[in-house]
């Protein structure tokens, strides 16, 4: 059986997208990890499955898997890529994704970039989740990082000189710190100007990536909570820029805007990939 797939990326944060709306492939974590391998598989930061939506008003149900085969509740750049696909498929400028983190509205902007509403950040310690009650704006860890959930757990360290930080060396051991009940994505951010951050993220289950959409949302919101930037912020990562707005009215949703690009499509013989 040769299975069709699409390769997309948002700022170099790349994804294998497999459409399971016509047929289910029942991919195991081991097979997802094998497909994600950049030497023996297709290669990606995350693998994304599209399934029929079961929530009223949603266009598709989306599942996100890290390169190690573990499942993630949310992925910002992948959400924008799927929103791009759905907009092209339906001819509509606005679409809605159903995810484990909730319904995510998306839209095509006039300049062609894609915006996705990532929902309201979860700021309580048990919503991150952490193993112990503490102030999520100043965790009891060296460097006093801030934590929140954007559908997946994020921790942001604010540093004076990002160039002096190796995210792999510092992020890898922190990913599974005892305080993080489900592990965490570890971001290192530097304020480089008014309403402008520089960010690098060690992603849980994926490692260092060129960009992390939910990590950019988390860094921006944590910077806003600390008074470092205003309610709108540009986040520059190795792969490029995302614009983040935290709405203070209503639920306090976070909108993320940036590019979503199709790299190529193809077919893969699943039987030849490790199960």
Q: Answer yes or no: are the C-beta atoms of 68 and 205 closer than 8 Å.
A: yes
| 115 and 122 Cβ atoms separated by less than 8 Å | no
Question: CA–CA separation, 25 vs 5, rounded Å?
Answer: 12
Helix ranges (DSSP H) in 191-244:
213-225
Count of CA atoms in the C-beta half-sphere (13 A) of 156: 29
* Known active-site residue 54: no
Q: Which residue in the list 44, 81, 212, 217 is annotated as catalytic?
A: 212
CA distances, 49 to each of 23, 26, 63, 170 (Å): 11, 10, 5, 31
Q: Which tokens hold the place of 135?
A: 């102030």
Contact 253, 119 (CB under 8 A): yes
Find where tokens 């193993």 sit: 131
Q: Which two tokens stand for residue 271?
A: 């039987």
Question: Residue 3 is encoded by which pair of tokens?
Answer: 């299975």
**Choosing from 75, 81, 217, 233, which is the catalytic residue?**
75
Tokens read off for 77: 């750049």
**Tokens representing 109?**
């902007």
What's the CA gap between 160 and 18, in Å, rounded? 41
**Which residues belong to the active site?**
75, 212
């Amino acid at each position: 059986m040769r299975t069709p797939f699409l390769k997309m990326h948002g700022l170099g944060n790349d994804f294998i997208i497999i459409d399971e709306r016509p047929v289910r492939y029942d991919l195991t974590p081991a097979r997802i990890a094998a497909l994600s391998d950049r030497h023996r598989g297709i290669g990606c930061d995350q693998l994304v499955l599209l399934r029929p939506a079961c929530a009223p008003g949603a266009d598709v149900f989306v599942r996100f898997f890290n390169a190690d085969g573990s499942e993630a509740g949310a992925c910002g750049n992948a959400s924008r890529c799927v929103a791009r696909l759905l907009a092209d498929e339906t001819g509509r400028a606005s679409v809605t994704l159903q995810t484990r983190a909730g319904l995510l509205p998306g839209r095509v902007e006039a300049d062609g970039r894609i915006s996705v509403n990532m929902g309201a950040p979860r700021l309580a310690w048990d919503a991150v989740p952490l193993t112990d009650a503490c102030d999520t704006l100043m965790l009891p860890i060296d460097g006093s990082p801030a934590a929140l959930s954007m559908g997946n757990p994020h921790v942001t360290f604010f540093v004076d000189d990002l160039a002096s930080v190796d995210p792999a060396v510092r992020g890898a051991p922190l990913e599974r710190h005892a305080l993080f009940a489900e592990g965490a994505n570890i971001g290192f951010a530097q304020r480089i100007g008014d309403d402008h951050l520089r960010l690098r993220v060690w992603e849980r289950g994926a490692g260092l990536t060129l960009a992390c959409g939910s990590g950019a949302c988390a860094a921006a919101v944590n910077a806003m909570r600390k008074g470092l930037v205003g309610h709108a912020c540009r986040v520059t990562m190795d792969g490029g820029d995302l614009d983040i707005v935290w709405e203070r009215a209503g639920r306090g949703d976070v909108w993320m805007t940036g590019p979503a690009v199709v790299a190529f499509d193809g077919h893969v013989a699943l039987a030849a990939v490790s199960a």
